[in-house]
Amino acid sequence: MASFSDALQALAQGQLKAEVLLTHMERALTRDPRVIDSVLAHLAKAYECGLIEAQTAAKLKAHALRTVRALQAHGGEPAGHSIVDASRAAAASLGDENATVLPFAPASGHAEIGEIDIDLTQIAADAACDAASAHASVAVGAVLKERFLLEEILGVGGMGTVYKGRDLLKVEARDKNPHVALKVLNEAFKKHPDAFIALQREASRQQKLAHPNIATVYDFDRSEGTIFLTMEYLDGQPLNSYLRRQVRPRGGLPFAEAFPIIRGLGQALAYAHEHDIVHSDFKPANCLLTTTGAVKVLDFGIARVIQGQDDSERTLFDPSSLGALTPAYASPEMLSGEEPDPRDDIYALACVAYELLSGRHPYDRKSAIHAREHALVPPAISGLGRGRMRALKRALALRRPERTPTVAAFLDELQDCRRMTPTAWFAIGIVAALLLLAAAVIVLRQAPADVAARPAVHGAAG
């Protein structure tokens, strides 16, 4: 079972086919046609925050309305709800200025669509198997390069499918840990002649990122028509699952519990930045909490070289052109197609930090451009303290020049909210100097009386 919002998120990330969602949405409407308001509200919200495109939103809306119209024709019209009004409201959410704007919450008295009969984990696995079966050499049980046995699907993303694999050479050598992770890239890469060269260079750069908080990439290879990465196999759970299952129900984690995770993620990004690499798609789904307690950053698949660095390795193909950005975590500059900058990753890291501490996204999962245009401000987190909230808001700034310049600065400000800025230290210095000056004046005023008293004492002694 999954919520309709989670299903829309899975659709946006390529983990769920639109046809599958349409089927389950239709079933939910058939069971209770009154949830039409809620369905349209979710679609409007997903479109406005950039989660789904207008065409996708319109397709889902049209199917929902057709379903309810069919029920209406058979005497099943939702009580108190007009199909015409619903249609005009949904159109308004997609840009029709002549229609009434659809509210983001269902009107009072109308039903809310809750969980739908859909297992996203199984659906994602089935979709990956379907995609894999299109190419005979890619499926569970296949062997790539006569070496890597694909044992099970670990996850499906916008750029490919990740498998747990067994390295048969390690098995032959009786290695106690023969498992690796293999990311098989999807068909979109075959449409770009320079994709293989560019991604080979990206993999080479990540191989240089030897850091305890970054998943190790071993190699980038091709088996017939299949392009894949071999990576360190990690046993644990993705951060997005951890947020959904453990953080959100608690309304966020205490700072002492959340900060070690934030620090580990930040240290990984800071190390990459030191090597002139911006992750460019940092989000909870690309982070992992291992069973041993380690924090790992994954998937530098669309990582980009910082402008002016390593120009010799630039190609005409930009991996980010494959559309793998996640609107809820991408900075305004990334969404606008500007050159990469470490502050793009800092924005994404601050979004994740805010979620860990509050259980919710700072801008309600709306895109950064939407947040900037509507002057949205992240709500204060209860119990966090003003200093740490200030540190979060600075890192979440919707204009790059106003954003925290480095990951190290963000972690320092977040960890020690009492740490003062140079301006504050200067002000304290001025106050201290004034106090010393005042003390000196007092001493000088008292000095003549002391001098006049001393001869009388000596005279008495004589």
pLDDT tens-place string over residues 426-462? 666 787 777 788 777 777 776 655 545 555 444 444 4
pLDDT at position 202:
62
CA distances from 183 to 162, 203, 220 (A): 4, 12, 10
pLDDT at position 107:
37
Query: By C-alpha distance, which of 273, 291, 415 is closest to 348?
Result: 273
pLDDT at position 156:
73
pLDDT at position 398:
97
**What residues in the chain have per-residue pLDDT under 70?**
1-2, 13-15, 48-50, 74-137, 157-159, 187-199, 201-202, 205, 301-325, 417-428, 446-462
**DSSP letters for 65-110:** HHHHHHHHHTT-PPTT--HHHHHHHHHHHTT-TTSPPPPSSPPTTS
pLDDT at position 179:
96
pLDDT at position 67:
84
pLDDT tens-place string over residues 351-407? 999 999 999 999 999 999 999 999 999 999 999 999 999 999 999 999 999 999 999
Same fold, 121-232 and 237-415: no
* Per-domain residue ranges of the chain: 2-118, 121-232, 237-415, 425-462
Residues near 166 by beta carbon (within 8 Å), at least 6 away in sequence: 148, 149, 151, 178, 179, 180
Of the residues 167, 281, 299, 341, only one is catalytic, namely 281
Q: Which residues pair with 143 in a beta bridge?
A: 149
Concerning whether 281 is annotated as a catalytic residue, the answer is yes
pLDDT at position 93:
44
Would you tell me how many other CB atoms lie within 10 Å of the CB of residue 352? 25
Fold of 121-232: Phosphorylase Kinase; domain 1 (3.30.200)
Task: Write down the CATH superfamily of domain 237-415.
Answer: Transferase(Phosphotransferase) domain 1 (1.10.510.10)
pLDDT at position 89:
47
